[in-house]
Amino acid sequence: MSEPTDLPFQDDERRPESLYEGERPVENRADRGGADPAPRQDDPQATNGGSTPGTTRLGQLSEPEETETDVLAARVTGPEDHGGMTRLWRATMDLPHWWFVAVGDAGSESPAAAQIDGQMMLLTFTSAERARHFAVQNEMVAPEEDLRAIALPPQELVDTARAYQDAGIAGLMFDPHLSGYFMPTDQLGIVWDAVHEAGPQTD
Q: What is the pLDDT of residue 53?
A: 41
Query: From the CB of residue 189, how many other CB atoms can be counted at a distance below 10 Å?
Result: 14
Residue 172 CA neighbour count, 13 Å, CB half: 25
Q: Name residue 106's amino acid.
A: A
How confident is the model at residue 135, as a pLDDT?
A: 92
* Confidence at residue 144, expressed as pLDDT on a 0 to 100 scale: 86
- pTM here is 0.70
Distance CA 6, CA 113 (A): 11
Q: What is the pLDDT at residue 45?
A: 36
How wide is the angle at C-alpha 135 spanned by C-alphas 42 and 32, nearest 5°? 70
In this structure, the strands spanning 181-184 and 149-152 are unpaired
Q: In whole angstroms, give the CA distance from residue 10 to residue 133.
A: 24
d(CA 83, CA 184): 18
Indicate the residue type of 62: S
Domains of the chain, each with CATH number or no CATH: 53-196 (3.40.1350.90)
User: Closest Cα to residue 163, out of 184, 185, 183?
Assistant: 185
Tens of each residue's pLDDT in the chain, 203 residues? 433 333 333 333 333 333 333 333 334 433 333 333 333 333 333 333 333 344 544 455 678 899 999 999 999 998 899 999 999 999 999 999 999 999 888 888 889 999 988 999 999 999 999 999 999 998 888 888 889 999 999 999 999 999 999 999 999 999 999 999 999 999 999 999 988 876 655 55
CA–CA dist 56, 69 (Å, integer)? 24
Is 85 in contact with 75 (CB distance < 8 Å)?
Answer: no
Nearest C-alpha neighbor of 1 from the set 160, 196, 143: 160
CB atoms near residue 16 (< 10 Å) = 9
Q: What angle do CA 197, 185, 146 make, to 5 degrees?
A: 105
Query: What per-residue confidence (pLDDT) applies to 34?
Result: 33
Residue-wise DSSP of 1-55? ---GGG-TT-SGGGGGG-TTTTSPPPP------S--PPPPTTSHHHHH--SEEEE
